[in-house]
Copies of this chain bind each other. A is one copy, B any other.
Amino acid sequence: MQATYQQALQTMGKIADLSAAMAIMGWDQETFMPAGAAQARGEHLAGLSAMAHNAMTNDSAVALVSELRSELDNLNATERGIAECFIRDHEQDLKLPESHVSNLARATTAAQEAWKKARSQSDFSLFAPALQKLVDLKKAEAEMRGYDENPYDALIDLYEPGMKSSLVGPIFERLQPKLTEIIKSVGEIAVPEKSVFDGMYAKDAQLNFGRSIVEQMGFNFTNGRIDVSTHPFCTNFAPTDVRLTTRVDEDDIRMCMFSLIHEAGHGMYEQGIPEAYFRTSAAGGTSMGIHESQSLFWEDIVARSQAFWNYALPKFKQAFPEAPEALNPVSAFKAVNTVDPGLIRIEADEVTYHLHIILRYEIENALINGEIDVADIPSVWNEKMQQYLGITPPDDARGCLQDIHWSFAGFGYFPSYSLGKLYAAMFRESLYKAMPNADELIEQGNFAPILAWLNANIHVYGRTKNSEEIAQKVCGHGLSEQPFLKYVGEKLEIVYQSK
C-alpha cells in the first residue's frame, strides 16, 4: 500500500511543480512582465494548466485514486490528510474537460489585459466582452461541477470548500441592514482625528516603514519579498518563497501600510504551513476565507487596535518626521477606525467593507443565475452602492472596474473576504481567552506569541481541515456574525465616544 501512496506523492509533486510554475508566471505578469508578452504568457499558462489538469485526471490518475481510496485506512494521520486532499482535488478536476481548462486560461489572460485597459480608461465597455466570455465559461463550469440548489455554490466551493449560499446568504442578509444602520447612526458624528494621517509621504519611505512593520510582526524575508503591483496580492511557490506586493499612494500612506500588513497576514499563513505538506495536495491555506481571516487578523484585529498604535506610533514618527503634530497613538487609532463610506473596497473601513462584499456577492449570484446581464453591472453596482453605503461612483474605474478578481474569473471569491472578517473576529475571541495579555504583547511589539498561536491552531492543518472544521476546533462553533458585531461595536463606542 505504501507503493500506492508513494505513487500518489509523485503525481502530487508533478502538479505542485506545474502550479509553482504557473504561480511564478502569474506573479511576474503583475510585477515585471513586458506588455508585449501577454499573448505568449497566455499560451504558456494554458499549456501548463492543461498539463496539470491532465496529470490529475488521466487514466493512471483515475486508477491510482481508486487504489488509494481503498487503502486510506493503512495510512498514518498525516499521510491520510494528504491523500484525502489529493482525492478531493482529483474529483473536482475530473469534472472539467481539458478543453474547458485551457479555454478558461486563455480567456482570463485576455480578460486581464482588457480589464487593465478598461480600468485605466474607466470604460466598462472595453472589459464587457471579455467578462461575458468568462461568465459563460463559469456558468458552464458550475453545471459541470454540480450543486444542490444554487449554481453559484459550485463556484463558492472553489474558494471555500463546503460553504453554501444557504449558510452565508442569511448571514449577509442580517449583516447588511445592521451595518447600513451603523453608517447612518455615526454618519453625523464628526471624528476630528479622521484626517490626521493626511499628507504626502515619499514612496521609498513608505515601503521601508511597511517592510519594517511586517518584519516585526513575523513575516520572514529570508523566505519572502515585497514588490509593487497595481493591485496588492500575495502568492507563493513554497513556504520558503512567499511574495507580497503592495501599491503606494504618495498622498495616502494607509494604502501601502495596511495592504502590506494584510498581504503579510496571508504570507505568514503560507510561511507557517508545515514542511511535510510541500509538493503535496495538502500544501497551502485551506480556503480563501481562512486565508482572509489571517490577513484581516493582522490588518484589522492587530493593526487597528489601540495597543498597536501605542507601539507603532513612535516608530511612525521616526520614519516620517514630517508627520503632523496632531498624530499620536489615540488620534492614529481613531483615524484608522473611522467609519467612512467610500468608493474603493480595499480602502474601506471594517464596517463598510462588508457592504462592498455583499454588493459583489449579490451581483455575482445574480450573474451566475442569469438574473442580470454583464451589461447591467455598472448600473446595478451604482444602485447598490447608493442603497448600502449612500454614495454613487462617479465613474467605473472607481466602481465596478476597481477589482482584479472578475478578470481572472474569480466568481465566488469575494464572499471569502467577509467570511475572513467573521472568522477573524471569532479567532480573536479564542486568542484573547487563551492569551488574556494579548493587548500588552501587541503594545510591546512582541508579536511572536500571537503568530505562534496562529501557527499552532490554524496554519498547522494546511488544507487537511476546511474552514468550518477549523472554526469548530478553535472556537467551538461554526460561522457566526456575532463576534464581529460585538468586536466592532465595542471599538466604535470608543472611537465615537463623544456620542
Q: Which residues of A approach B to under 8 Å, CB–CB?
A: 13-14, 16-18, 20-22, 24-25, 28, 32-37, 39-41, 43-44, 47-48, 51, 220-225, 227, 237-241, 278-279
**A33 / chain B contacts, CB cutoff of 8 Å:** 241
**A35 / chain B contacts, CB cutoff of 8 Å:** 222
| Pair A34/B279 contact, Cβ less than 8 Å | no
Write 8 A-B pairs (CB below 8 A) sorted by A numbering.
A17-B51, A24-B25, A32-B225, A37-B223, A37-B237, A41-B238, A43-B279, A51-B51
| Pair B48/A240 contact, Cβ less than 8 Å | no
**A34 / chain B contacts, CB cutoff of 8 Å:** 221-225, 240-241
Interchain CA distance A223-B35 in the complex, whole Å = 7
From known contacts A36-B220, A238-B40, infer whether A24 and B17 are also in contact, taking CB-CB under 8 Å.
no
Q: How many copies does the complex hold?
A: 2
Interchain CA distance A14-B17 in the complex, whole Å = 14
| Pair B37/A28 contact, Cβ less than 8 Å | no
| Pair B227/A40 contact, Cβ less than 8 Å | no
**A13 / chain B contacts, CB cutoff of 8 Å:** 43, 47
**A16 / chain B contacts, CB cutoff of 8 Å:** 44, 47
What's the minimum C-beta distance from A114 to chain B, rounded to whole angstroms? 18
From known contacts A37-B223, A237-B37, A238-B37, infer whether A44 and B32 are also in contact, taking CB-CB under 8 Å.
no
**A240 / chain B contacts, CB cutoff of 8 Å:** 34, 36-37, 39-40
| Pair A21/B32 contact, Cβ less than 8 Å | no
The 10 A-B residue pairs with the shortest CB-CB distance, nearest first, are A40-B238, A17-B47, A37-B241, A21-B21, A36-B223, A36-B222, A36-B240, A20-B44, A37-B240, A17-B44
Interchain CA distance A37-B241 in the complex, whole Å = 5
| Pair A241/B36 contact, Cβ less than 8 Å | yes
Interchain CA distance A183-B395 in the complex, whole Å = 70
| Pair A25/B36 contact, Cβ less than 8 Å | no
**A238 / chain B contacts, CB cutoff of 8 Å:** 37, 40-41, 44
**A222 / chain B contacts, CB cutoff of 8 Å:** 34-36
What's the minimum C-beta distance from A272 to chain B, rounded to whole angstroms? 14
A17-B51, A34-B240 known, 13 other contacts, Cβ within 8 Å: A13-B47, A14-B51, A17-B47, A18-B48, A21-B22, A24-B25, A34-B225, A34-B241, A39-B240, A40-B237, A40-B240, A44-B238, A51-B51
